[in-house]
């Protein structure tokens, strides 16, 4: 069992690590909350709140849509996770507390993943210290905690990917074929369609590496793809009328593919640079030695997510640093490899120092060096954009976008209390404000607008910046359509620049909850008039 040491008793360090992580997660989650009118609210990352709006509408019988009674547009990319969010809405909790259930679920999923990571590391290295280090690096990796504990589906995806890797490794080492890892990754495609990436990576790798069972792996991968992806696509065509989610058209069409990928490559290099290149590429050194073949399996799965991140151009929040949402699901596998590599480096250095007669206290020095290397790696990977990022990791600063989430939530609550039931609100941040407002909304950036998602993106900038100018999900809009044609009662954009201001001629600015709203001059939707 994962909680039992090699000596047959409970491992106190392992138990302490899991307990410390759960305490860390609890503090992290509390720091994402805030007061609104004297009541404590929990809100997820804004993109997760888009899924929450779809989920609530489904739970209330309106269907899997963004606006009740509105057009069916798949503005989400996490269908199975959204179904779980719908179940959370059936618990009868106050709206201010539903997100807490989702966040607690994320913490439990990440805690369960630690057991799988430990089992992987023990199987590959046979050393309790390596397993503990791999689990510790995973437990306290800020990007993984941030995305999962703020409501994104990455916690579930990380657990599924780690589990599939463990199941595949066990079967491979025993000389057997098992369909279990393919079933697990099939479920991952339902959580998010790009779960096909690790599925294809696993099938392709094992078809090449496990020669006696090559045809079985190829057939299992193809069959899983057909059943899970095929069924999901058929349901999407039936319900939404589209082959792919609306967000695919929004993010992957209308922009030069090469410029999209150059930006993806750049953010990968940026990630490696801030993590310390000497440490980041250290696991590749395992290929130079006769390590268990599972090392190649984990490297292949991690590499597949890295290549996918480059292909899609990275994520929208690369300014924050660290692994983005595509790479972070494979970081637990990476940390297993990193812990093994760090152990090898430490042993090599200590062995040569001992041969030179410079280690009179070898055992103590070995333990100290090992702890120092792991600590250095932890600091390097959590200094997302340098030392200024460390207070956030240490929970001295609030997590990413919490202040923005609070403002969006307060604005949504204000609209719920002051806007007429038939008011129409156009928003740029399409998550917390629409969720808490309970009003028909227009998505200015097109996640839930089929017309905008199929427009060409704003052209790349000139000069060198054209290689870095891609910004997924934020380069399509049509204010003539969204504002002048659809005529919302209220418009809320975080930045009113030269692109949008000409379309607000018939609107007047109103200062509400620390933000500027534009209200249509002939609208009577707000009560009382501000």
Q: In this predicted structure, what is the pLDDT of residue 465?
A: 87
Helix (H) / strand (E) element for 426: namely: strand 424-427
Q: Give residue-wise pLDDT tens across range 396-409.
A: 999 999 999 999 99
Instruction: Check whether 8 has a pLDDT greater than 60.
Output: no
Cα distance between residue 74 and residue 79, in whole Å:
9
Q: What is the pLDDT of residue 366?
A: 60
Could you identify the residue written with the tokens 């109103």?
Answer: 510
Residues 342-348 have a mean pLDDT of: 75
Percent of the chain with pLDDT over 90: 85
pLDDT band at 1 (very low <50, low <70, confident <90, very high): very low
Residues 429 and 411: their CA atoms lie apart, in Å, by 11
The reported pLDDT for the residue numbered 306 is 98
Specify the pTM: 0.94
Coil, helix or strand at residue 305: helix
Alpha-helical segments (H) within 126-256: 128-139, 142-149, 154-173, 180-191, 196-209, 214-224, 230-239, 246-252
pLDDT 10s digits, 88-106 = 999 999 999 999 999 999 9
The predicted pLDDT at position 463 comes to: 87
pLDDT band at 251; cut points 50, 70, 90: very high
Q: How confident is the model at residue 310 (pLDDT cuts 50, 70, 90)?
A: very high
Residue 292: what pLDDT?
75
Indicate if the pLDDT at residue 6 is higher than 70: no
Q: Which residue has the tokens 């060096």?
A: 369
Rounded Cα–Cα distance for residues 404 and 90 (Å): 27
Q: In whole angstroms, give the CA distance from residue 436 to residue 431.
A: 9
Q: Is 241 left (phi over 0), alpha (psi -120 to 50) or beta?
A: left
* Residue 363 confidence (pLDDT) above 60: no
Alpha helix (H) ranges present in 317-441?
Answer: 331-355, 362-382, 390-393, 402-418, 432-437
User: Which has the minimum average pLDDT: 46-55, 239-248, 352-361?
Assistant: 352-361
Tokens of 152: 């994104």
Q: Give yes or no for a contact between 332 and 287, defined as CB atoms under 8 angstroms apart.
A: no
Mean pLDDT along residues 450-478: 93
Q: 243: exposed, middle or buried (C-beta count within 10 Å: 0-12, 13-18, 19+)?
A: exposed
- pLDDT band (50, 70, 90) for residue 365: low
* pLDDT for res 167: 98
Rg (Cα) of the chain, in Å, rounded?
A: 25
Instruction: Note the pLDDT tens digit of each residue in 202-244.
Output: 999 999 999 999 999 999 999 999 999 999 999 999 999 999 9
pLDDT at 297: 96
pLDDT for res 357:
53
Model confidence at 262: pLDDT above 90: yes
Cβ contacts of 494-499, under 8 Å, gap ≥ 24: 494/428, 494/429
How confident is the model at residue 358, as a pLDDT?
A: 53
Give the pairing of strands 424-427 and 440-443.
parallel
Percent of the chain past pLDDT 70, that is, above it, reads 93
Task: Please report the pLDDT score of residue 290 as a whole number.
Answer: 65
pLDDT tops 60 at residue 40: yes
pLDDT above 90 for 51? yes
Q: Residue 347 — very low, low, confident or very high, per pLDDT cuts 50/70/90?
A: low
Per-residue pLDDT averaged across 503-511, rounded? 94
Looking up tokens 């990754």 gives: 185
- pLDDT for 528 equals 60
Question: What backbone torsions phi and psi does residue 116 show, to the nearest 5 degrees?
Answer: -70, -40
Predicted pLDDT at 4: 43
Q: Would you call 4 helix, strand, or coil by DSSP?
A: strand
Q: In what order do the strands lie in the sheet with 490-492?
A: 440-443, 424-427, 490-492, 515-520, 507-512
Tokens of 447: 């996640």
Mean pLDDT, the chain, integer: 92
Other C-beta atoms closer than 10 Å to the C-beta of 293 total 13
Backbone angles phi, psi at 515, to 5 degrees: -135, 160
d(CA 190, CA 232): 7
Rounded to an integer, the average pLDDT of 517-528 is 89
């Amino acid at each position: 069992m994962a909680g039992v040491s090699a000596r047959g008793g409970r491992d106190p360090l392992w138990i302490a690590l899991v307990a410390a992580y759960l305490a860390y997660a609890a503090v992290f989650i509390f720091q994402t909350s805030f007061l609104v009118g004297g009541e404590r609210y929990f809100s997820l990352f804004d993109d997760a709140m888009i899924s929450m709006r779809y989920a609530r509408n489904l739970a209330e019988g309106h269907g899997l849509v963004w606006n009740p009674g509105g057009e069916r547009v798949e503005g989400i990319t996490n269908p199975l996770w959204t179904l779980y969010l719908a179940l959370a809405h059936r618990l009868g909790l106050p709206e201010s507390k539903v997100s807490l259930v989702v966040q607690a679920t994320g913490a439990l999923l990440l805690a369960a993943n630690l057991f799988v990571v430990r089992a992987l590391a023990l199987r590959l290295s046979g050393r309790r210290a390596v397993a503990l280090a791999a689990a510790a690096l995973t437990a306290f990796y800020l990007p993984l905690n941030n995305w999962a504990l703020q409501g994104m589906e990455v916690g579930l995806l990380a657990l599924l990917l780690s589990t599939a890797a463990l199941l595949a490794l066990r079967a491979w080492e025993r000389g057997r074929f098992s369909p279990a890892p393919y079933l697990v990754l099939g479920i991952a495609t339902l959580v998010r369609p790009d779960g096909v990436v690790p599925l294809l990576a696993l099938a392709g790798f094992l078809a090449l590496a496990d020669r006696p069972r090559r045809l079985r792996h190829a057939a299992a991968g193809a069959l899983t793809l057909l059943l899970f992806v095929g069924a999901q696509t058929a349901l999407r065509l039936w319900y939404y009328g589209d082959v792919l989610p609306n967000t695919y058209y929004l993010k992957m069409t209308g922009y030069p593919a090469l410029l999209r990928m150059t930006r993806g490559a750049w953010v990968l290099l940026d990630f490696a640079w801030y993590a310390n290149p000497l440490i980041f590429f250290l696991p590749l050194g395992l290929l130079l030695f006769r390590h268990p073949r599972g090392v190649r399996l984990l490297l292949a799965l991690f590499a597949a997510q890295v290549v996918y991140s480059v292909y899609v151009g990275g994520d929208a929040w690369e300014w924050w640093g660290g692994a983005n949402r595509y790479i972070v699901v494979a970081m637990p596998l990476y940390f297993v490899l990193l812990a093994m590599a760090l152990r090898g480096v430490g042993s090599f250095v200590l062995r040569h120092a001992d041969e030179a007669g410079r280690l009179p206290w070898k055992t103590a020095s070995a333990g100290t060096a090992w702890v120092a290397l792991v600590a250095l790696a932890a600091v390097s990977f959590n200094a997302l954009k340098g030392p200024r990022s460390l207070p956030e990791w240490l929970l001295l600063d609030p997590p990413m976008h919490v202040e923005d989430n609070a403002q969006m939530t307060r604005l949504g609550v204000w609209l719920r209390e002051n806007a007429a039931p038939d008011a129409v609100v156009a928003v740029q941040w399409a998550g917390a404000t629409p969720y808490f407002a309970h009003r028909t909304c227009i998505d200015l950036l097109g996640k839930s607008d089929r017309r905008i998602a199929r427009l060409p993106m704003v052209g790349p900038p000139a000069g060198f910046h054209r290689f870095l100018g891609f910004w997924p999900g934020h380069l399509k809009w049509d204010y003539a359509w969204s504002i002048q044609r659809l005529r919302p009662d209220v418009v809320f954009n975080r930045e009113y620049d030269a692109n949008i201001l000409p379309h607000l001629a018939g609107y007047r600015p109103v200062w509400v909850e620390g933000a500027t709203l534009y209200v249509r001059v002939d609208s009577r939707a707000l009560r009382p008039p501000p």
